[in-house]
Each structure stands twice: as C-alpha cells, then as structure tokens.
Structure 1
C-alpha cells in the first residue's frame, strides 16, 4: 500500500447551495457553426448520473447530479478549492435534510462543485437547499514519491483506486488515455487545484481511435504529456491522472471535463486499461443507465 500523510490532513467544513441554471442568451454555437438551444450547467439533473455515458446527451457541459455554489465569491473559492472528489456531503436544509452523498467533481468557469445523491434525495431537493461538504484531501502526499503532486481527491477514495508499484513506477487502472493534443479549454490555467479542463471532441475519428467516445462520468483517465503541477501545460513525458466530471460539449475547444487528481513531470505514472476504473465503482454508487 502506498504510504501517504493521511494522518496529517485537515478535514474542514465548506458549504454551498443548489445553484439554479442560468441563461443570458439562448443559443450556443457548435464547432460547425450551428446555433443550438440546449440544457447546460447547474441545478438538479435528475437523469444524468456518475457512471452514465458522458457522451451523446442533448446538452452542453451537463453536470451529473447536483450542482452547488456559494453566493459569496471568496467562500465559493474555498468551496471549490478544498472540496475533493470522494468527499462526503450532507444536505442540511429542506425536505431532503440529512441525506448524504459524495463530491464527484469541480467544474471551472461556472465554479460549481458537483455532488452525487441517490434518487430519493433528488426528488425531495429544491434549488437553494444547502449542502455541507467535509472537505478533506488537499495537502495529500505520497511519501515515497515526492515528485508526484496529489490534488482534488479524498484520501480514502485514493486508497481504493488499485494503484500498484512496479519497478519504481505507479501503475494506475484507467478507463482511457488521451493524447496531449486533445486537451483544450482550461489548458494554461495557473492552477489545477480546482476546476477542470476539457478533452476536445470535434474530431470524431480521433475520439473513436482512443475509445474516448465511450467515456463515462466518473471515469479515471490518463492524460499523456500533460503536467498539472503548477498549472495545466504540455510537457513531454509528463503524465496526469484525472476524473471525468461533466459531459461532452458542442463548442469548439471543449468536451468532457477532467479534474486532475495526480500528476508528475517525470514518466513514472503508467496506465492499465480497466472497465472498472470509475469512481462509481469505487464508491459503490447506484449506476444510472
């Protein structure tokens, strides 16, 4: 088992509320110039869940489950920075009060934290219901691999990923690999310790070549030649591991969103393809479709 500093990590409350979808202009322009009216980010998304396909929806940047935000900008910054995938979340107001779930991603731009709850809770929830997250995971370190930067993942979930050590390398089960040239919106951000960046999907043939057309929400993916240590950038030989957090998109430069969970500038992380490399499997969540 990988040695970590789990006993030194601080668990702290952060909180937001269900954020209503917003729209200031009805049309989104696709990568082929077609104006489309589609559901997008925010709210309670009843029929799109972690474990479902991330591709093929009549939507744009669709966020599975519940999207939460804090109206105070600096508090929302902390909600997005300190929440980690796999953190426990609890509804603390409204008819679904007391129901628990898990953080499944952080979506940059709209600055949402995404949370999974079971259907019974979703049916009782309303916009503005408050969600408390037990934020735990930022500051995680691999004691024997200090060159690997950890981020955005609950340490207990990390322990379930099935990572093995072999000849000085870390072998990570992944659902797919993506080449560096497919990484689009979000590349160049100054930090990967919150938010996400997108796999571009406008070239359908390339997406099929890498089996990215089969991506699911919650899939663990390997990003080749990308370093997320001090921002998101191309670096030959670097490897980043991330989680699919939102759906495919119609806009140029966009596609399924990836929140990074570990990265290394040296080629010591390798992937092994597994159809079980999904946080829904690791957390024992109900699979939708």
Structure 2
C-alpha cells in the first residue's frame, strides 16, 4: 500500500442545501440548434452514479443530488473541501439521518454532487440541508511528492488498487483522454474545486477512443494535462480524474472531469480496467 500522511489530514465539516435548478431558456448546440433541456441542480431521480454519461436528453446533467451554500465564501469552502467519497448526511426534512457520499464538484454552477440510494431520493426536498465530513485535501504520497493528490477521500483512495513499479505508480482507469479534447474549464486557477470538460463535438473521435462509453464515476487518465496549479497543457504531464456530469450539447463542453491526481512528470501510468468506477470502490469500502 502507498505510504500517505492520512493520519495528519484534517476531517472537518462543510454544509449546503439541495439547490433548485436554475434557468430554463434555450441552449444552442454546437450545430447551432436551439434546445430546451434539463441541466444542472435539483434531484436527478433517474440519473445515477454508474450510469452512462452519454445519451441523456439533457445538458451538464448532474447525477444524484446537487447541493450549494448560498453564501459565496461558504460555498467556496464546500466545493473545495468536499472530496469524492466523503460521507454526506441529510440533517433536515423527511430523509433526515440518511447517508450518502460525494461524487464530485461542478465548476461554473459551483455545485457539489452527492449519491444517495434511490429510495432516499423520494424523501428529499429542495432546500434540505446536508452536512459533509470533508476529508482529503492535504493528502500526500510520501514516496512520490511530485504527484499531487486532491479531491478524494483517503479511505476511497486506498481502495483504488494502485500498483508501484520502477519508480512510478500504475492507476486503474477506464479510458485515456488526449489533451486536445479538454475544453471548458481549462485555464482555471485551481484544480482543487470544480471540473473541466471533455469536448465531444467530434463524435467520430470520441467513438474511436471509446469515450462514448464513459459512465458517471469512471476514472480516466488525461494525457499531457497539468493540474498542479490550475489546468493547462504540459507535454509529459499526467492527471487522473473522475467523470462527474453528463455530456453536453454546447460547443467546447462534454462530460466533466474532477481531478484526483496530477504530476508534471510522467510518474503515473494507466492500467485499463473497465471496473474503475466510484461505485466499484465504494462497494469494496463498505465490505472492508
């Protein structure tokens, strides 16, 4: 097992409430067609972590439950310190006391997404409060300090079946994404919050790379993508991320990726594993 500083990582509280969907006007597709579609926010009753991220009659659809804190500074803390795999607890309303886990954060709309079992969704309401045990920011790999870890719960991280060989780590991923496909969100000042999108207007290229099979919660490797101090291109850099929202109709957009690891050097290699999804590892964690 990789040596980490998990015993020194602070676990604390962040909180938000189920955020009502906003907007409702036309969205212009990359082919210039105006469409009215469900998009971000609210409770997605039939879109779950583990489902295909493609094919929905929607745009930037967020699986499960989307929460936000209406205080801008408090929401910045929520989206920065809530990490994938963190425990989330409903603390108001008919579903009070029920548990779920964080599945990612979405920049622009500044949402944090949470998975709850389907039976719990029926009892949730807009504005119900949810508290998260934020745990993960500050996690380090003690033998690979050039690799930055972010946005992932240490308990989940330890389930990823990462191997070590020849001074590198080998990480299970579903697919490899070339840098020329990374779009909306690139150039952001920080990768410790939000996401950035795989552009999908070139359908033939997406199919050639088998990216059209991506699911919510899949782990992917981003080639030549440096997420150390923001998001940009750097030859030889490697990042690992998780699919957090659906494909999109807008130009420059597509499935969103929240970063969990990045390195300016080529110290991360992929292991192609079609089970490399949050759902797989969270099930393992619940049995351990």
The corresponding residue for 2:15 is 15
Do structure 1's residue 224 and structure 2's residue 223 form an aligned pair? yes
The corresponding residue for 2:5 is 5
1:164-211 residue CA offsets vs partner (Å, 9 max, x unmatched): 001111100000010000000000001000000000000001101111
State the TM-score, normalizing by the size of structure 2: 0.98
The corresponding residue for 1:177 is 176
Do structure 1's residue 86 and structure 2's residue 85 form an aligned pair? yes
Deviation at 1:120, TM superposition (A): 1.5
The corresponding residue for 1:274 is 273
Q: Distance in 2 between matches of 1:26 and 1:71?
A: 22
The corresponding residue for 1:49 is 48
Q: Distance in 2 between matches of 1:111 and 1:26?
A: 19
Q: Distance in 2 between matches of 1:119 and 1:210?
A: 32
User: Segments of 4+ in structure 1 off by > 3 A?
Assistant: none
Query: How well do the aligned residues superpose, as a CA RMSD in angstroms?
Result: 0.8
Q: Distance in 2 between matches of 1:207 and 1:284?
A: 29
Deviation at 1:119, TM superposition (A): 1.2
What SS class does the counterpart of residue 96 from structure 2 fall into?
coil
The corresponding residue for 2:212 is 213
1:63-118 residue CA offsets vs partner (Å, 9 max, x unmatched): 00000000111000100010000000000000000000000000000000000001
1:200-234 residue CA offsets vs partner (Å, 9 max, x unmatched): 00000110111100000000000000000000000
Q: Distance in 1 between matches of 2:137 and 2:154?
A: 9
Q: Distance in 1 between matches of 2:52 and 2:160?
A: 20
Q: Distance in 1 between matches of 2:254 and 2:35?
A: 16
Q: Distance in 2 between matches of 1:57 and 1:236?
A: 34
The corresponding residue for 2:140 is 141
1:117-152 residue CA offsets vs partner (Å, 9 max, x unmatched): 011110000000000000000000000000001100
1:262-287 residue CA offsets vs partner (Å, 9 max, x unmatched): 000000100011011000111129xx
What SS class does the counterpart of residue 13 from structure 1 fall into?
strand
Q: Distance in 1 between matches of 2:91 and 2:13?
A: 12
State the TM-score, normalizing by the size of structure 1: 0.97
The corresponding residue for 1:160 is 159
The corresponding residue for 1:96 is 95
Q: Distance in 2 between matches of 1:190 and 1:15?
A: 24
Q: Distance in 2 between matches of 1:163 and 1:186?
A: 28
